[in-house]
Amino acid sequence: MSVFREILASGPGCAIANGLLNGFETVKVKLQLHNPKRPVYHTPTMAGVMTQIIKEEGLVRGLLAPGLSASLTRSVIYGGDRVGFFSPT
């Protein structure tokens, strides 16, 4: 299979994986920005922040949508190239 076909085949696969995991990425960034002196989250853990975001902002709008377009673009380009150029020989 040619390199171009490998890139076209691997890019969407990487995008799907990143899209499914984008909620965890959103929580990770929010935890990194968390200031203990002025807490925004009642329980600053992965589960606690996820629960609070879903209650206050909703699942899609608060957890899944933020940063999704940037994540998908990056994964199609970077993931497609990284996996597409890989040659096991």
The answer to whether 34 and 41 are in contact (CB under 8 A) is yes
How far is the C-alpha of 87 from the C-alpha of 80, rounded, in Å? 13
Rounded to an integer, the average pLDDT of 6-31 is 90
Does the structure show a pLDDT above 70 at 4?
yes
| Helices 46-57 and 3-32: angle between axes, nearest 10 degrees | 90
Band of pLDDT at residue 89, cut at 50, 70 and 90: low
Report pLDDT digits (tens) over 24-80. Answer: 999 999 999 988 888 888 889 999 999 999 999 999 999 889 999 999 999 888 888
pLDDT at 87: 66
